[in-house]
Structure 1
């Protein structure tokens, strides 16, 4: 190592030949500037290599960085030799630079055929445009198919309701007219027939709600407090139950979707409360340009592992309980919320129960006082 820095056999470059100050300093400044640039370039290149995922020919890029770095070292040593004649160090750096340069050249030769096969920017742009156009056509076809399916489901549900109502009415009339002549078993079967017909009617109603939830209508300015109060008037609240409507903001949204969300969430809370003194609180608040509507109940609550599953279509958690559900109500709520551009989720209520939170984007101002029902 000492021999590399032994300068006894060489004079400083200033003393080799007849250097003028101008001539010498041109060499020095040029070598220093080139060396600094050759250190900066690989630093930028290395940063790019580390940050860019999926970079083609990453190994060659590292060789380029090392090659440029070694060249910069040679230039800095050349500038130093004017005062410190470390020619042996200079020779070592030049040899290393030569080796790295040869390895880089060989690597470039080996990857050249593959590099030539890479598509150019114009080809990539054209391919991307074709893929985007194809995806748009696929999405358009999917929207059309979904619309057709929704229309079919809506019409089928509506058309099935009429004969279903007739079945329920016939069963009730037979039960009323023949109550004294039918056996207890027959009366029980008629009662079960009416119950099942009622459940089917509820399922069809939920299916209609689900199809309507995806309908895109023109948004209007809505006072959520008034909408919530109107919804409460349509619900069958137990005598010992209460529904408290607090202060809610004004939003710009689709009226049908808002009414469906409020009605289904509150009806779900009443239906599955599991207690006669059900208590529901509806309140809202602003978060930026969005409105959050919270519908809180004191019912049986929802386990965390089911917090997403409950919004799936035909999913109900009532197995083994007296109350049966169609599994459509909350699925329609999620679909209607998505139509508004928002989302819905459920949180546990302190002290027991569940709180459904509905995010409605682009709300404005606030409403006034709440009420109780």
Structure 2
């Protein structure tokens, strides 16, 4: 940027025939550096990336639609035009690189699709910059300049190479610890890299063709020069050319260029005589003809056909590169899936081996001929013989052995047999895909006093005893054959060994319902059946929740019923205590209400007497009393009125939280109008909002609205009083806002104005008990709502009541 300002061409253009770095390019690099430094400030980095992307896209838009938006020389008027098609406009591959690199900062790296977006973008920019550097190193202009458009500068390509490499390294560090995302990023990034690697391999061949084109053009330029010299000699041209002689040169040049497929420029003494090509591109061949005192210069440029041949070959190279990239990606993904599958198989084999060796059951793996290939330690303990090598040696009973031979027709066969004098359950099941079988041997206990399964290491016993409730397993007749320790503790005996039925432990009053649920569970088998019943516990009865679940045993075709008892005695005690507390609270509320009524009535009676006496003294003895005496009597009368109002408000406050709420459909707007008419303020009240119907207790809501409007009128000293009521609904809430144009309240008192007996002015200035807003707050709380206070746009106070639209909503 400083090079453009201070006219330093050596900074902008590193070689005399090389393209300079445009001012907009330097500006975009500055923005790219800022985005990289501010990468932790996501908003700023994203904002800069959008600006950078916009500049790149606008530049590409100008190239595609051949328009000029004024962006190229918006910041600087350019004075260097080598290999520049449009003054100040960055190369199209440069603009594309800026768009690609800006994607890294625009898309959050933690986005679920970032590995498929930012990786290929950075890889594509890396490939474009690397190809440009290779082009400058080999003299292949096609690698850094697209047709006759502005070329990418060599230091621009180098900066892109450094920046894209740094961004790729950042992504590698971020994704390497996330295997699945890393392989996706690696695959997506590999595609553009492979494409440019293959294209880079093709560049020397393209360069060879370009050199051949240059040599051919040099020979053709010399040939046309010779022909022009012969034509001039034949026409007898002297030192000064006449228009006819110039016409001969032009005709010769046009004919030759059309035959050889060249664009050309013809100059005489540095002045353009004829041209069919713009002045912004370098010629591929120049020939100077010194004829007399004049210098005739022929400049040849590649034709569109020759350029198209290069483009077609380049596109063909890209197509081949894409095929190679697709093949590489396919091989990479295939290898990754293969490695992943092998890792999963290895992990599964290790887990299976651990389970096989640590199993408490006797396990053995048999081949297709039912010979034992592998057995665990538990198998040796059950069989009690180390030299057994086949299924036939394990199962002595011929009938049981023949039953197991049907394994080819079934997935699993289970038999109970005797091995070495012990009762053993033998299960044979298909295992693997090459005819292998899995043999499971489980020793059965034959001692009835130990129940069906009393080994402490047995997984079933551990599970039952860890359940934390009374649990037993029964048959379809209700006979208990397995019970956990909690159930045995409740009954002070080994229930399974006693051969009892479950109904013996159920209270007689609850037994009919229990038996019905028990039968339903067996017949329907659609989930547990639940009920509450009393279960015997050490000679007493305790309330429990009972869940009965039935399931058929596929091997024995018998019903297996699980009965689960969970004590709810503590819960029922809490419920009874809660009911007692509620009853006591109702009685206390009734007593408070009765006391408030009696106190109000008994206290108001003497107040009325005092008030009447003071009025009589004023009427009958006003002439006998001076002005001060009359003021004292009037003060007594006012204090009596205030005390009476206070007692009335106290009675209302006490009753507000005790009466039963009666919910009904209320038109809020109509209710507000009724309250305003009651206070004779409808003419100064602006009621806004649509008709809103809610389900609410009308008495409580009317008390709240009446007190809020009364407060807005009472404390408004403005001569032109104004009230605005706004009714609206948001989600499941109804909002009623009451605003006034009074003097308002200081914000520090917003939380205290709802306290009982709280007034912000002396009693002599403002008559009131200080209970109005306290009653309002209590009524709103009963409706499960709330009341908020804020400053009003009218200048006074804004009180907003919010309550649920329907009963039960919060």
1:31 aligns with 2:350: yes
Cα 1:251–1:190 change in 2 (3 A) is same
- Asked if the contact 1:250/1:363 (under 8 Å) is kept, the reply is no
Alignment partner for residue 623 of structure 2, among 173, 176, 180? 180
Q: Tell me the CA shift for residue 187 of structure 1.
A: 0.4
SS of 2:581's partner is helix
SS of 1:310's partner is coil
Q: Tell me the CA shift for residue 295 of structure 1.
A: 1.0
- Asked if the contact 2:694/2:806 (under 8 Å) is kept, the reply is yes
State the Cα deviation string for residues 211-262 of structure 1 (Å, max 9, x = none). Answer: 3322224222222222222222322659xx9233334522222222122112
Q: Tell me the CA shift for residue 176 of structure 1.
A: 2.2
- Asked if the contact 1:216/1:339 (under 8 Å) is kept, the reply is no
Bigger relative CO (Cα 8 Å, ≥ 6 apart): 1
1:224 aligns with 2:668: yes
1:92 counterpart residue number: none
1:242 aligns with 2:561: no
1:151 counterpart residue number: 594
1:315 counterpart residue number: 758
CA distance in 2, matches of 1:343, 1:168: 39
State the Cα deviation string for residues 48-80 of structure 1 (Å, max 9, x = none). Answer: xxxxxxxxxxxxxxxxxxxxxxxxxxxxxxxxx
1:134 counterpart residue number: 577
2:736 counterpart residue number: 293
Cα 1:168–1:233 change in 2 (3 A) is farther
Residue pairs, 1:104-123, within 5 angstroms? none
2:161 counterpart residue number: none
State the Cα deviation string for residues 67-98 of structure 1 (Å, max 9, x = none). Answer: xxxxxxxxxxxxxxxxxxxxxxxxxxxxxxxx
State the Cα deviation string for residues 94-127 of structure 1 (Å, max 9, x = none). Answer: xxxxxxxxxxxxxxxxxxxxxxxxxx66899644
Cα 1:217–1:246 change in 2 (3 A) is same
1:98 counterpart residue number: none
1:189 aligns with 2:632: yes
SS of 1:281's partner is strand
- Structure 2, unmatched stretches of 5+, are 1-344, 356-467, 471-565
Determine which structure has the larger strand proportion and give its number: 2
Cα 1:151–1:320 change in 2 (3 A) is closer
Structure 2-normalised TM-score?
0.29
Structure 1-normalised TM-score?
0.59
- Asked if the contact 2:671/2:702 (under 8 Å) is kept, the reply is yes
Cα 1:35–1:182 change in 2 (3 A) is farther
Cα 1:340–1:179 change in 2 (3 A) is same
SS of 1:311's partner is coil
Alignment partner for residue 208 of structure 1, among 615, 628, 651? 651
- Asked if the contact 2:666/2:694 (under 8 Å) is kept, the reply is yes
2:718 counterpart residue number: 275
Structure 1, 194-203 or 164-173: larger mean CA deviation: 164-173
SS of 2:738's partner is strand
State the Cα deviation string for residues 316-355 of structure 1 (Å, max 9, x = none). Answer: 2224871143121111111211222222221221252111
Q: Tell me the CA shift for residue 29 of structure 1.
A: 4.2
State the Cα deviation string for residues 172-207 of structure 1 (Å, max 9, x = none). Answer: 232122222212221011110111111112211211
CA distance in 1, matches of 2:802, 2:353: 59
Residue pairs, 1:334-345, within 5 angstroms? 334-345=777-788
Q: Tell me the CA shift for residue 289 of structure 1.
A: 2.9
Structure 1, 292-301 or 170-179: larger mean CA deviation: 170-179
Q: Tell me the CA shift for residue 34 of structure 1.
A: 7.2
Alignment partner for residue 266 of structure 1, among 709, 712, 732? 709
Q: Tell me the CA shift for residue 294 of structure 1.
A: 0.8
- Structure 1, unmatched stretches of 5+, are 1-25, 37-119, 365-373
Cα 1:304–1:150 change in 2 (3 A) is farther
- Computed over aligned residues only, the root mean square deviation of the Cα atoms, in angstroms, reads 3.4
CA distance in 1, matches of 2:796, 2:469: 58
Equivalent pairs counted in the alignment come to 256
SS of 1:251's partner is strand
SS of 2:753's partner is helix
SS of 2:759's partner is coil
2:796 counterpart residue number: 353
SS of 1:308's partner is coil
Q: Tell me the CA shift for residue 145 of structure 1.
A: 0.9
